[in-house]
Amino acid sequence: MMTDFGRLMTAMVTPFNNHLEIDYKQTKHLIEHLIKTGTDTIVVCGTTGEPSTLSDEEKLLFIQFVVEQVQGRCKVIAGTGTNNTKNSIELTIQASQLGVDGILLVVPYYNKPSQEGLFQHFSSIAKSTDLPVILYNIPGRTGINLTKETIVRLSKIHNITAVKEASGDLSTSAYLLDHTPTGFQIYAGDDSLTLPLLSIGGHGVVSVASHIIGSEMKLMIDNFLAGKVKQAAEMHRSMLPIFEGLFITTNPSPVKFALEKQGIPVGSVRLPLVPVNKQEAEFIITLLDNIKKMDKATPNI
């Protein structure tokens, strides 16, 4: 199964109103902003979308709304992974019926299954859908690493077509590129590794920073693919403080604050997450000022 979700995927925040309920009106504005600034695929209910604090009903209604709003202008992937295989299968089946283009499955958190348990978890969910499935390895949040050997084993399942690698280990990505089937795609799970991963043959990024600097990230990727490596490297270095600064505290608190400051209010975060504090807010405002300077300094290529 060959599926291309593009080079720039955005793990979209879930906009909330003042009562911390999903704000569908602001979601419309956010979707339009992301499409306009180069997002190829919107990921709904990924980590940045606070899925752990959304009910299954909220998730499905939100996924349906995004699909209907996008109207095929970009692709939509639904995050349906949980730490409960049965629940993940049910969510995946329901999301698959809503018109999404793919499924994102995070490594089950808290349970700490063995690699065999992980293999059976992902393979069982993949069997429940005809859609392409993207694995999501983020040991810093889940407490367990999906090993390269297990990813290779899973890559042989026909509809497991990609992995979002957020372990921060480029050596793992290099190994996967050499040992997975042709067409299996590796996406960076960290904005700061977008260009390094592309340089070794990776496909793209599932981004947080693209909420704020999507156009710049798309240009960096396009420059690299066009052989303009020096320009791409310069852009990478100029954006690096933003890539890193948006994680000054737990995602998505910083990016939600940054979006508000850019005129795209998406509300706060649900507990147990909390909004950025005064010092963090001042730091992010400085970052946004630097983005304006970066835009002015971007060379005409």
pLDDT tens digits along 95-120: 999 999 999 999 999 999 999 999 99
- Is 136 among the residues known to form the active site? yes
The SS3 of residue 78 is: strand
pLDDT tens digits along 217-258: 999 999 999 999 999 999 999 999 999 999 999 999 999 999
User: One of 136, 148, 187, 218 is an active-site residue; which one?
Assistant: 136
Beta strands in the chain (DSSP E): 8-11, 41-44, 75-79, 102-106, 133-137, 160-165, 185-188, 204-207
Which own/partner contact pairs does 225-234 have at CB distance under 8 Å and 24+ positions apart?
225/7, 225/198, 228/301, 231/299, 231/301, 232/195, 233/195, 234/299
Q: Which domains does the chain have, with CATH numbers?
A: 8-228 (3.20.20.70)
- Is 298 a residue whose pLDDT tops 60? no
The SS3 of residue 16 is: strand
pLDDT tens digits along 54-89: 999 999 999 999 999 999 999 999 999 999 999 999
Confidence of residue 295 (pLDDT cuts 50, 70, 90): low
Phi/psi of residue 205, nearest 5 degrees: -140, 145
- Is 294 a residue whose pLDDT tops 80? no
Average pLDDT, the chain: 96
Omega before residue 272 within 30° of 0, cis: yes
Please report the pLDDT score of residue 299 as a whole number: 52
Confidence of residue 290 (pLDDT cuts 50, 70, 90): confident
Phi/psi of residue 261, nearest 5 degrees: -70, -20
- Is 256 among the residues known to form the active site? no
Please report the pLDDT score of residue 177 as a whole number: 98
User: One of 164, 187, 218, 256 is an active-site residue; which one?
Assistant: 164
Confidence of residue 3 (pLDDT cuts 50, 70, 90): confident
Q: Is 166 left (phi over 0), alpha (psi -120 to 50) or beta?
A: alpha
Compute the radius of gyration of the chain from its Cα atoms: 18
> Nearest to residue 128, comparing CAs of 163, 79, 174, 95?
95
Pick the residue with more confidence: 247 or 1? Answer: 247
Structure tokens of 250?
């737990």
pLDDT tens digits along 140-178: 999 999 999 999 999 999 999 999 999 999 999 999 999
Please report the pLDDT score of residue 297 as a whole number: 59
Residue with tokens 């209907």: 68
- Is 301 a residue whose pLDDT tops 50? no
Q: Find the helix or strand (DSSP H, E) in which 25 lies.
A: helix 24-36
- Is 200 a residue whose pLDDT tops 50? yes
CB neighbours of 63 closer than 8 A, spacing ≥ 6?
44, 45, 76, 78, 95, 98, 100
State the Cα–Cα distance between residues 222 and 216, nearest whole angstrom: 10
- Which residues, in sequence order, are bridge partners of residue 134? 104, 162
